[in-house]
Structure 1
């Protein structure tokens, strides 16, 4: 690199003036294309010349560099997608129930408003002198009456249900941390609930995926059957004992 062969002292580095042309900020961690123009010459730049944010250089005392991307334009920030909050099945069910209750509340307020409008119409038909005392239109009266019924029936929405659920999650997490049945004595490691909102998922685990054999099982090499020069050896139908370990080559 030019800074290694040409700029060999801090004084030369302080007087360095060049132009770096590079690609637009993107999320590709292993790809970078650019060029450095200095002293009427161009030097190609690739991913080997780029030090990503958060990385550390080993076996190097001093490193001089130029900031290419900063702030939200760094590759690390470009790779940070939207953070999705984890919701349990119980939370989704409660959200659906609240939406259904709110829709029922709106429908009930509409029917009550219509019924009230018919009653007012019949009352005005019997008492015609009341119409001259009213300064608002029927549509405006219906609008205010609808919102009045909506506020009056708003107690149907269980707003305290979410607060109570959070306290239940918190208490359950404390009991998990105190549970002696989840304590691993050989390593002195107790259970630790890192999230209070996923406790109810513990009893709903249906599948466990493992990256390789040996993580949840034992790597035991057992001879079953083989074919050598047309001859079959072994019986795969009957259980066999594990083969002894081969001695290490001398």
Structure 2
């Protein structure tokens, strides 16, 4: 019952503590691994066939084939339909398999990118997929932002951080983010960062790139958080030697992934051409 209540509460509000994996694990937040591929070795054939027969043309020819198997209804041989239908399904299946293989490669590459995570007072190299909500990570100039982070401190005056958001909104001009004064004091002092035990309460994961609301509680004081304090996954650090951030949303919960949605089944020019050939 307690676990169910926590999962229900997570849909409306997120609560986490910095540098406290044990506390954060109880909420079962997603880790930073992503998956954009649709199939695996065992599910490819049934899922792909199911998707292909959702196309009206393919479903029509399957129905036609069934009718041709009944001698009282049709005098045409069944192979006059099954051969072109199998050809269409095979060509589309090969194309979908290649596309999904490339998505698997891309996922593996992204999930295995290195990032510096603060663990037990030391910065350790970790893979992106092993980063968890509540971790503090260090990013350097030209690094991709690993997850959706609350900016804590940076090398720039007033803890400013410059980011490029081209992958999120297509804009190439740099944007500026600024940390709270209370966290900017942490600087790059690993001892202070390790002892940082701020607690964040914020909205549940959503796809609104320009909106974030939450509060940071530190030493009994509450500080308002907004989008100007956030570094979103998909951004790139620019003109900033280093910065530290607290992971708020990871993996599929990040704004970037929330906006990507599910991989859709696309009808390409090849598919249209093959269906025309079948009709002919």
Q: TM-score, normalised by structure 2?
A: 0.31
Higher strand share: 2
Give the structure with higher Rg (CA): 1
| TM-score, reference length from structure 1 | 0.35
Greater relative CO (CA pairs within 8 A, separation 6+): 2
